[in-house]
């Protein structure tokens, strides 16, 4: 239902993660959907009630956040709730919802301080964190992009991937592209989806059109393909790339 309707950002763990969790969990209160923290504690459509233990969803991992507040769950929940309450008076946070340099700098006040000191800082609306963190992420992304360009320049395209995967699994191109329920075919298509996204930078939508599947299926197949590649020790090429 929500496939491709929401986008994520990369968040530096400390101290931005907790601030972001608090801000998101207070959204129903800010929007007037609930009128007080007690109502938020049991509001079923927000992660806050799940962390508080009042609503159960198997897909929601609460341990990671609670472990940041204490080793014992009761104590951790108490500290977490105190932390959330302190955020109520903060209202809307442009530094957590805005984009680019403002978000990366840690807010308007921090940005003004930086500019007064005439220092430069990386900013990217997809990343929430300090300048060094943003720099490291962008550098890694650039290296990944350079690799994709290099592969393309050497002729590593989708058709090459098809030939590589069929060779690994002993399938014909038609069998690979048409698909089927046989385990070998499913594994091969998963590896194809993974390499197409990871190495060639193809989108799930582009892959879905090639394989006649839904974009969500292509994404799931790529995740499965990663596990297969790691377990089987498959390499994109016998050459050193």
Q: Find how far residue 213's CA is from the centre of its chain.
A: 22
Residues 67 and 134 in one domain: no
Share of the chain above pLDDT 70, in %: 66
For residue range 151-170, what is the model confidence (pLDDT) as tens digits? Answer: 666 778 899 999 999 999 99
Residues 194 and 220 in one domain: yes
Residues 141 and 215 in one domain: no
Q: Which of residues 92, 117, 136 is at a domain's end? A: 92
Residues 105 and 86 in one domain: no
Q: Is residue 191 part of a domain?
A: yes
Residue 32's SS3 state is coil
Taking the C-alpha atoms of residue 109 and residue 88, their distance in angstroms, rounded to an integer, is: 20
Residues 188 and 208 in one domain: yes
Strands (E), 34-73: none
Residues spanned by the domain of 123: 96-147
Highest-pLDDT range among 118-127, 169-178, 197-206, 212-221 = 169-178
Whether residue 189 is predicted with pLDDT greater than 90 in this model: the reply is yes
Banded model confidence at residue 215, pLDDT cuts 50, 70, 90: confident
Share the mean pLDDT of the chain: 77
* 73 CB-contact burial (10 Å; exposed 0-12 / middle 13-18 / buried 19+): middle
What pLDDT is stored for residue 117 in this prediction?
A: 42
Residue corresponding to tokens 């989806």: 193
Whether residue 30 is predicted with pLDDT greater than 60 in this model: the reply is yes
Q: Which among 227, 174, 173 is positioned nearest to 198, based on CA atoms?
A: 227
- The C-alpha angle with vertex 13 and arms to 229 and 230, in degrees rounded to 5, equals 5
Whether residue 113 is predicted with pLDDT greater than 60 in this model: the reply is no
Taking the C-alpha atoms of residue 130 and residue 161, their distance in angstroms, rounded to an integer, is: 38
Residue of higher predicted confidence among 3 and 236 = 236
The number of distinct structural domains making up the chain is 3
Q: Is the pTM of this model over 0.95?
A: no
Q: How far is CA 31 from CA 35, 92, 99, 217, 233, in A?
A: 9, 10, 21, 34, 50
Whether residue 59 is predicted with pLDDT greater than 90 in this model: the reply is no
**Phi, psi (deg, nearest 5) at residue 127:** -130, 130
């Amino acid at each position: 239902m929500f496939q491709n309707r929401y986008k994520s950002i990369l968040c530096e763990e400390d101290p931005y993660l907790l601030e972001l969790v608090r801000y998101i969990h207070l959204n129903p209160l800010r929007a007037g959907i609930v009128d007080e923290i007690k109502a938020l504690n049991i509001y079923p459509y927000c992660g806050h009630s799940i962390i508080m233990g009042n609503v159960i969803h198997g897909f929601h991992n609460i341990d990671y956040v609670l472990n940041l507040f204490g080793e014992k769950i009761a104590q951790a929940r108490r500290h977490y709730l105190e932390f959330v309450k302190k955020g109520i008076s903060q209202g809307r946070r442009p530094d957590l919802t805005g984009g680019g340099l403002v978000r990366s700098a840690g807010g308007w006040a921090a940005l003004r301080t930086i500019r007064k000191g005439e220092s430069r800082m990386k900013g990217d609306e997809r990343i929430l964190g300090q300048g060094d963190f943003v720099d490291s992420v962008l550098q890694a992304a650039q290296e990944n992009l350079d690799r994709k360009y290099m592969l393309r320049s050497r002729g590593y395209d989708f058709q090459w991937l098809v030939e590589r995967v069929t060779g690994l699994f002993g399938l014909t191109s038609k069998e690979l592209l048409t698909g089927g329920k046989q385990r070998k075919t499913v594994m091969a298509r998963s590896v194809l989806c993974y390499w197409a996204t990871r190495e060639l930078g193809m989108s799930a939508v582009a892959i879905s059109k090639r394989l006649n599947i839904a974009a969500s299926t292509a994404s799931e197949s790529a995740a499965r393909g990663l596990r297969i590649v790691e377990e089987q020790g498959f390499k994109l090429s016998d050459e050193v790339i």
